[in-house]
């Protein structure tokens, strides 16, 4: 039995009549850009996460950029991001005109290590962007405390963590702003690109919305120069159908992670990811570590099981940051994760049989034989 890394078509089939009707209604009403579906989604998503405002936009990368512009980031400012994330988290700092500063991650949660913040905060630091990586919340209480001590803003990058919680409080409600991606493979995915910024401050929300819409909230009335970053009606209509199912999908991911935990606990030379105490992770990705990663990856591939590397290089070691001349020992945890991490299939529609197949194949892995 082959097990794909993800199966977006299967999710479509579970909601086909509703999705087809939603798409048809957008076409029939020509509600392509903004319109009632977008407004309904903004209201519903803000309510789901628990913030006052949701500004939808074209993708999660723009959401980060727009949030930083809204917070007034300017050249000379420094913004701290974790050394392991998707490139959007760091590239948008540069795009907003500021200087990106990397901080290593915590070995248990793989998210920004608040204990290391004091090493990277300078008098030019203006903000921190923790990432709830793989669906595991960053240590927001500690990060917010450090930010308050130094007068810094915090933007939570929630692209991988819709509905994740810390002590019953949803991620996205801790910082000055939170950004989400609805890229098709995300826990809540559109059928194209889509994203959003969430916040509680009405003035910040207004600035961000204005910037996203060519600098004006009324047609022809451009108060500032902005960009064009809007969620389209088709994506919003699709997300409106999917949003009510997100809780059940997250619970299914949690069940699958628990089953992996049980099935793989005794396997030699494999370290499993764990949710830290008090945290409800939503398992966007299930990333295990092994010093024999390359052999394990080949073993899974030869048995028809999809895997991925998230991510093959930690951010400071990407060619685009070669100018910073970082060495592995500057970010040892992120560096090792990139060397050893392997994502195995986890998606809400995954069956128990598929999960058992992945467990059996990994249990049959013998690094010395395979390596």
Binding site for ligand PLP (CB under 6 A): 59-61, 85-86, 88-89, 131, 157, 159-160, 181, 183, 193, 195
> Closest residue (Cβ) to ligand PLP?
60
| Integer CA distances (angstroms), 60 to 67, 178, 182, 185, 285, in order | 11, 10, 7, 13, 17
Q: Provide the CB-side half-sphere exposure for 206 (13 A, CA).
A: 6
Q: Say how far apart CA 182 and CA 159 lie, in whole Å.
A: 7
The beta-strand segments (E) located in 18-57 are 53-57
Token pair of 250 as six digits? 């997250």
Q: Specify the residue, 26 or 171, whose C-beta has the smaller distance to ligand PLP.
A: 171
Backbone angles phi, psi at 54, to 5 degrees: -135, 120
Q: Say how far apart CA 189 and CA 235 lie, in whole Å.
A: 9
Q: Specify the residue, 347 or 365, whose C-beta has the smaller distance to ligand PLP.
A: 347
Q: Specify the residue, 193 or 295, whose C-beta has the smaller distance to ligand PLP.
A: 193
Q: Specify the residue, 139 or 295, whose C-beta has the smaller distance to ligand PLP.
A: 139
Across 268-301, b (16+ Cβ under 10 Å) vs e yields ebbeebebeeebbbbbbbbbbbbebbebbbebbe
Q: Specify the residue, 160 or 240, whose C-beta has the smaller distance to ligand PLP.
A: 160
Q: How far is the CB of 59 from ligand PLP (least distance, A)?
A: 4
Q: How far is the CB of 357 from ligand PLP (least distance, A)?
A: 27
Q: How far is the CB of 180 from ligand PLP (least distance, A)?
A: 8
Q: Specify the residue, 90 or 173, whose C-beta has the smaller distance to ligand PLP.
A: 90
Q: How far is the CB of 287 from ligand PLP (least distance, A)?
A: 13
Q: Say how far apart CA 146 and CA 121 lie, in whole Å.
A: 10
Q: Which residues pair with 177 in a beta bridge?
A: 155, 199
């Amino acid at each position: 039995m082959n097990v794909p890394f993800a199966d977006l078509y299967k999710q479509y089939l579970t909601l086909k009549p509703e999705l087809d009707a939603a798409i048809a209604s957008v076409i029939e009403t020509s509600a392509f850009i903004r319109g009632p579906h977008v407004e309904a989604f903004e209201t519903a998503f803000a309510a789901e996460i628990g913030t006052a405002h949701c500004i939808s936009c074209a993708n999660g990368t723009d959401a980060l950029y727009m949030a930083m512009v809204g917070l007034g980031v300017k050249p000379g400012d420094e913004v701290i991001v974790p050394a392991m994330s998707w490139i959007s988290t760091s590239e948008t700092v540069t795009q907003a005109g500021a200087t990106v500063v990397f901080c290593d991650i915590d070995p248990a949660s793989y998210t920004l290590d608040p204990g290391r913040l004091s090493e990277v905060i300078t008098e030019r630091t203006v903000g921190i962007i923790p990432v709830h990586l793989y669906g595991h919340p960053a240590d927001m209480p500690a990060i917010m405390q450090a930010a308050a001590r130094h007068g810094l803003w915090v933007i939570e990058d929630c692209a991988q963590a819709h509905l994740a919680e810390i002590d019953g409080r949803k991620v996205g409600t801790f910082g000055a702003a939170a950004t989400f991606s609805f890229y098709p493979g995300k826990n809540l995915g559109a059928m194209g690109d889509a994203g959003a910024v969430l916040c509680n401050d009405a003035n910040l929300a207004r600035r961000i919305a204005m910037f996203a819409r060519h600098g004006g909230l009324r047609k022809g009335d451009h108060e500032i120069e902005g960009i064009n970053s809007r969620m389209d009606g088709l994506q919003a209509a699709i997300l409106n159908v999917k949003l009510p199912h997100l809780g059940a999908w997250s619970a299914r991911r949690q069940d699958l992670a628990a089953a992996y935990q049980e099935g793989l606990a005794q396997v030699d030379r494999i370290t499993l990811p764990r949710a830290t105490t008090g945290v409800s992770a939503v398992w966007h990705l299930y990333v295990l570590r092994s010093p024999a990663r390359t052999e394990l990856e080949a073993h899974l591939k030869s048995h028809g099981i999809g895997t991925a590397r998230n991510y093959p290089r930690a951010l400071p070691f990407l060619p685009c940051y070669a100018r910073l001349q970082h060495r592995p020992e500057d970010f040892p945890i992120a560096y090792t994760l990139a060397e050893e991490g392997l994502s195995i299939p986890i998606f809400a529609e995954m069956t128990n049989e598929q999960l058992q197949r992945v467990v059996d194949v990994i249990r049959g892995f013998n690094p010395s034989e395979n390596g």
